[in-house]
Amino acid sequence: MTAPLYNYDLADLCNSLGILGFMAYVANYLMLSFRVLSSESVLYFVINTSAATLVLISLTQEFNMASALIQGFWITIGICAIAIRVRLRLRERRRLAGDAPFHHHQMRRERSDHALYRRAETACYSTA
């Protein structure tokens, strides 16, 4: 006989969310490895950030400082990466639509944003 659903407690729920986060990490990595997703896509970072959040929630029941720090790091990086990509996408749409004037200082800033993004990407994939 199986236990009814109402016998589960908060620890069981948090553990289930952690397992769901683990599954999201694995699915995201598989999709990246098999080129279903690109590391440039917003969706990649949304899935990764969601997975880290779910694992962090699970740590509220059985805390592990190292794991919490890793998850916090992934959440922070994920939010920044999403914001950068959304901002660049919106800026490109405005430029293509001709809605906003495209001034020289904007082009300089976009080059700076792009260079910063490329340096961060290179640092992530460099082998030292």
**Per residue in 55-71, pLDDT tens?**
999 999 999 999 999 99
Please compute the mean of the pLDDT values over residues 13-24 and round it to a whole number. 97
Secondary structure element (H or E) that encloses residue 66, with its range: helix 65-97
> 128: pLDDT confidence band, cut at 50, 70 and 90?
very low
Distance (Å, whole) CA 57 – CA 42: 22
pLDDT in tens, 73-84: 999 999 999 999
What is the pLDDT, as a whole number, of residue 110?
A: 57
